[in-house]
Structure 1
Amino acid sequence: MQAFLYFDLTSDSAFHKPVVEQVRQSLSTVSILDLDAHSDELLQHYALRLLRESEKAVVCIKADESPTELGSLMPLLEELFEEGKQRLVLLQGQPPRLQHIFAARPHVVFKVVEEAQVVEEVRRFLEV
């Protein structure tokens, strides 16, 4: 199974997420889940399970410069930090705190991308 997880941590999180729709339309065989900073524990549990059970996964985190509470995201970040997994983290926006977190872990593959680049990066990594 291949997965795409999208986390919108921006302060102005919208219900409609164009990137998620584009991935869904372009890559119909990929399991997709999107969350935001206010997602409940059950949804976060599903995200963690999807991440653990997928052979390959792309996690796109949209964040802005404002300080974001990462407490609810920590179990997922810890899963991303595990070595030996086929995962790609895409950082969308200018999240300096997240850039530092991922840069400190050289075994985690991450890229800073613009919204228009997300679908192509997902397609390239998952080779769909």
Structure 2
Amino acid sequence: MMQAFLYLDLTQSTAFHQPVAEQVRQRFPQVTVLDLDARSDELLQHYALRLLRESHRAVVCIKADGEATELASIMPLLEELFEEEKRRLVILTGLQPRLQRIFAARPHVAFKVVIEEEVVGEVKRFLEV
């Protein structure tokens, strides 16, 4: 059964190297890890959607700041996360009131706001249930 970790960087200063995604990749070699940002091309976003749909369990970590305005480009991914009856955890690092309201309106989605240093621990808790 496939498990996935998607790291989505919506900040204005996206970096090529994502330490959190790398930590998850090293700590959980059995988990498929994909990192993308709001400017990722359609092919990468399509792959992310497919990964979400095909995985038995998935954790999606969204790194955002108050400036994150690129939500339109990730709507297909967000809509997939809103599906009921799926084993998913959405983690938000950083402050993004709009995303927090979107997820608060969907109590069936497991959603947590944490600091970046807590992400790996949350992934461990979720995947080992």
**How does the TM-score come out when normalised to structure 2?**
0.97
Q: Which residue of 1 aligns with 2:60?
A: 59
SS class of match (1:89): strand
Q: Which residue of 2 aligns with 1:96?
A: 97
- Kept after mapping to 1: 8 A contact 2:61/2:91: yes
Q: Which residue of 1 aligns with 2:82?
A: 81
Identity of aligned residues (%): 74
- Kept after mapping to 1: 8 A contact 2:10/2:68: no
Give 1:66 deviation, angstroms. Answer: 1.1
Give 1:72 deviation, angstroms. Answer: 1.3
Matches of 1:84 and 1:42, distance apart in 2:
26
- Report runs of 4+ in structure 1 exceeding 6 Å deviation: none
Q: Which residue of 2 aligns with 1:41?
A: 42
Count of residue pairs brought into register by the alignment:
128
Q: Which amino acid aligns with 1:20?
A: A
SS class of match (2:113): strand
Matches of 2:68 and 2:41, distance apart in 1:
20
Mean CA deviation greater in 67-76 or 16-25: 67-76
Matches of 2:117 and 2:76, distance apart in 1:
28
Give 1:27 deviation, angstroms. Answer: 0.5
Q: Which residue of 1 aligns with 2:69?
A: 68
Q: 1:67 to 1:29 in 2, by over 3 A?
A: closer
Matches of 1:46 and 1:4, distance apart in 2:
13
Q: Which residue of 2 aligns with 1:117?
A: 118
> Gaps spanning 5+ residues in structure 2: where?
none
- Kept after mapping to 1: 8 A contact 2:58/2:89: yes
Q: CA RMSD in A?
A: 0.9
Matches of 2:28 and 2:19, distance apart in 1:
14
Q: Which residue of 1 aligns with 2:18?
A: 17
- Kept after mapping to 1: 8 A contact 2:11/2:68: no
Give 1:68 deviation, angstroms. Answer: 1.3
Give 1:84 deviation, angstroms. Answer: 0.5
Output one character per residue of 1:62-118: Cα deviation in whole Å (capped at 9) or x when no partner.
000114121110011000001000000000100111000000011111000101000
Matches of 1:65 and 1:97, distance apart in 2:
9
